[in-house]
Amino acid sequence: MRSLVRECTLTTNDFVMPVFVMEGENKEEPIPSMPGIFRRSIDLTVKECKELFALGVKAVNLYMKVSDHLKDNTGKEAWNKNGLMQNTIRAIKDAVPEMIIMPDVALDPYSIYGHDGIIENGKIVNDATSDALARMSVSHAEAGADIVAPSDMMDGRVQVIREALEDSGFTDVGILSYAAKYASSFYGPFRSALDSAPKDDMEIPKDKKTYQMDFHNSREALNEVFKDIEEGADIIMIKPGLPYLDIVTKVREAIDLPVAVYNVSGEYAMVKAAAQNGWLDNDKTIIESLTCIKRAGADMIFTYFAKEAAMILNG
């Protein structure tokens, strides 16, 4: 009877798996703060994508662990046609053509400062960063990306990216915009995975509060969402997930576009830590958490639980 009257059902079609990639061959490194999650070389990333697709997880979100010698203040490695991201996209598309590839578009993994933007005179410069993100997005599209996912929160960057994609002939490449991304404490494990936290330098901003949203604010999220839709976004992202489900519902009720929600690294780490201590039932908590995100209004959920949740749902 409960199944017959159930209002919300979770399936593997709801999931996008974030994937961390590193240089090398046949390499796999565990991320201590995210048990069960790894940085992998391209060959092992391709193997992982094959396994994910076989389980019913049909989309991945790519992040690169960039070597220090390739980092600078311009982020130019981000649009290197033979860069780690570009080679990863091509390798996955060759091996699993139907896998939807959504590469992250942001400069922080490529920045010597760990910021999402270019820095001049101690400040993030918005327009120069947007131009760099557009070059990065076109490079991803050329490599075979289906959807680019700008996570930087620069003002106006969706329009700049959309125009660059159109001018380059990539009219079918979508934009998933991180429209309501909050300056959150829940990102810690992710930043350690990529070594992308802002550097402790008195000459630059010590955090990302000058461009990410204030977690005290709710109405501001709708303003950000509407602006990105006007600029050409195809999908809207809210990040983080569980502590921000009020924002998810508010956005879902206000727009008709697909809504994505990011069940972030800190949320993952808390569940895993509690489960390892026997304080929570791992499987039941994963499914309940993800179902609650969907119930709040998410059309797709970016989650590090994607593979594990698919295995649970598949029995």
Tokens of 33: 């703060």
- The verdict on whether 181 is a catalytic residue reads yes
β strands within the chain, DSSP E = 15-21, 28-30, 38-40, 59-64, 100-105, 118-120, 123-125, 147-150, 174-181, 235-239, 259-263, 300-303
- The verdict on whether 227 is a catalytic residue reads no
Catalytic hit among 93, 208, 239, 307: 239
CA dihedral 213, 214, 219, 221 (to 10 degrees): 20
| Contact criterion met (CB below 8 Å) for 55 and 214 | no
Pick from 189, 169, 184, 153: which is nearest to 269 by CA?
Answer: 189
Tokens of 12: 């593997």
Catalytic hit among 181, 208, 272, 294: 181
Q: Which residues contact 287 (CB under 8 A, 6 or more apart)?
A: 10, 309, 312, 313
> Which bin fits 278, alpha (ψ -120 to 50), beta or left (φ > 0)?
left
Tokens of 279: 């304080």
At 20, which amino acid appears?
F
Annotated ligand binding at 224? The verdict is: yes
Enzyme catalytic residues: 181, 239
Binding residue positions for Mg(2+): 224
